[in-house]
Structure 1
Amino acid sequence: YGIKQEELAAALEVSRQTIGSLENGRYNPSIQLAFKIARYFHMSIEDIFIYEED
C-alpha cells in the first residue's frame, strides 16, 4: 500500500510503535482497532487478520 507507519498510526489514532508491533506479530489488536484497520483499507477483518487459537 506504500503507506508509512507514521501515517497509518495517525489515521488510526495509535502510536507508530503499535503499528510496528502489529506488523511483527508481537501485538494482537483490540476488536475496535481491528475494525479501524479493516475500514481504513476497505477490507473485512477476515481479509486482514487470521484467527489462531492458543
Structure 2
Amino acid sequence: MGSGTKRLRHPVLGELEFQHLVLQLADNPDQKLVTFTAIDSDQARITTLPR
C-alpha cells in the first residue's frame, strides 16, 4: 500500500493537486486500486467546470 501527492496540469484550471492512495490485494499483489482525491481548494475549482 502506498500514498502521496500528485500534481496534474489541467488545460483550463491549471495545476491541480491530488492525494492518492494505492491499495493492493493480499491474494494477488499484481492487482491494485488507486484512488485520487483533490485537495479541498482544488476540489472547489473542479466543481466550477461545465458538465
TM-score, normalization: structure 1?
0.23
* Greater per-residue helix proportion: 1
Between structure 1 and structure 2, the one with the greater Rg is: 2
Which structure has more strand as a fraction of its residues?
A: 2
Q: Which has the higher contact order (CA 8 A, sep 6+)?
A: 2
TM-score (norm 2): 0.23
